[in-house]
């Protein structure tokens, strides 16, 4: 009759589908074996570009090696808040023009700034690098001493850069904790620390000396390409059977 609505049922709407992370075994509960872990990661990261400071030190067929303590410290300053893909070419461009403290000290600051302009905060870094070069000459005769306290006395150089330069250039077994080392070691459950500074202190208590340089060399590419900050690639992780997966809510 007129005025009555049809009782014919409407077709059901299809349910929205959501992408789910692949199923994984429960997080590991057995003790983390750092020797086994780093050995496996060594093989995994061979497929990826090396960490920038190590790549700069070693050079390749197309690029000369820049491995002095001064060069490594300058390169680390350039890397602060800057992607490796940007800071590495900037360091090579600078060193192709001026690779020693004396050569950099002879540059005008605006010339130096132009060479490193792709690096974040390049104007401040140009002043810091120029001052570093001048002090290296006047206070240390052109050669930096392999001393963390001396290196951190320079503007723009904190423990991370000082330790990384000492490890890469001088082979001194000190730990450099960047965002990747901090995230990965805490995700493993190997340490439990809320900041990179606390992670450094925790690692200094437990990490064997033989791994103190390699922890950065290996975990930087591992953290960039496998154990990423967002949705880590747990399904291809070589240490999944040991990882506590602290804080991981979604993965690939």
Residue 69 exposed, middle or buried by CB count within 10 Å (0-12, 13-18, 19+) = buried
Contact (Cβ atoms closer than 8 angstroms) between residue 129 and residue 155? no
Question: How far is residue 23's CA from residue 92's CA, in Å, rounded to a whole number?
Answer: 44
Contact (Cβ atoms closer than 8 angstroms) between residue 60 and residue 88? no
Catalytic site residue from 125, 160, 224, 233: 160
Residue in the structure block whose two tokens are 């080392």: 181
Contact (Cβ atoms closer than 8 angstroms) between residue 227 and residue 237? yes
Verify whether residue 160 is a known catalytic residue: yes
Question: How far is residue 239's CA from residue 237's CA, in Å, rounded to a whole number?
Answer: 6
Question: How far is residue 97's CA from residue 76's CA, in Å, rounded to a whole number?
Answer: 18
As annotated, the active-site residues are 160
């Amino acid at each position: 009759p007129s005025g009555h609505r049809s009782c014919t049922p409407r077709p059901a709407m299809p349910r929205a589908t959501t992408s789910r992370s692949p199923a994984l075994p429960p997080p590991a509960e057995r003790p983390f074996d750092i020797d086994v872990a780093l050995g496996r990661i060594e093989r995994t990261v061979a497929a990826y570009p090396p960490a920038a400071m190590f790549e700069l030190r070693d050079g390749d067929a197309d690029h000369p090696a820049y491995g002095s303590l001064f060069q490594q410290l300058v390169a680390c300053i350039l890397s602060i808040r800057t992607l490796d893909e940007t800071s590495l070419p900037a360091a090579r461009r600078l060193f192709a023009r001026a690779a020693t403290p004396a050569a950099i000290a002879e540059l005008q600051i605006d010339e130096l700034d132009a060479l490193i302009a792709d690096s974040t905060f390049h104007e401040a870094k140009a002043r810091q690098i120029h001052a570093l070069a001048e002090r290296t000459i006047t206070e240390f005769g052109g050669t930096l001493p392999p001393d963390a306290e001396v290196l951190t006395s320079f503007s723009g150089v904190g423990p991370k850069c000082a330790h990384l330069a000492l490890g890469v250039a001088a082979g001194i077994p000190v730990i450099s904790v960047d965002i990747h080392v901090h995230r990965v070691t805490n995700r493993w459950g190997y340490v439990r620390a809320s900041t990179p500074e606390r992670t450094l202190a925790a690692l200094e208590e437990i990490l064997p000396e033989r791994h103190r340089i390699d922890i950065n060399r290996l975990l930087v590419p591992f953290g960039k390409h496998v154990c990423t900050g967002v949705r880590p690639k747990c399904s291809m992780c070589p240490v999944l059977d040991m990882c506590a997966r602290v804080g991981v809510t979604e993965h690939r």
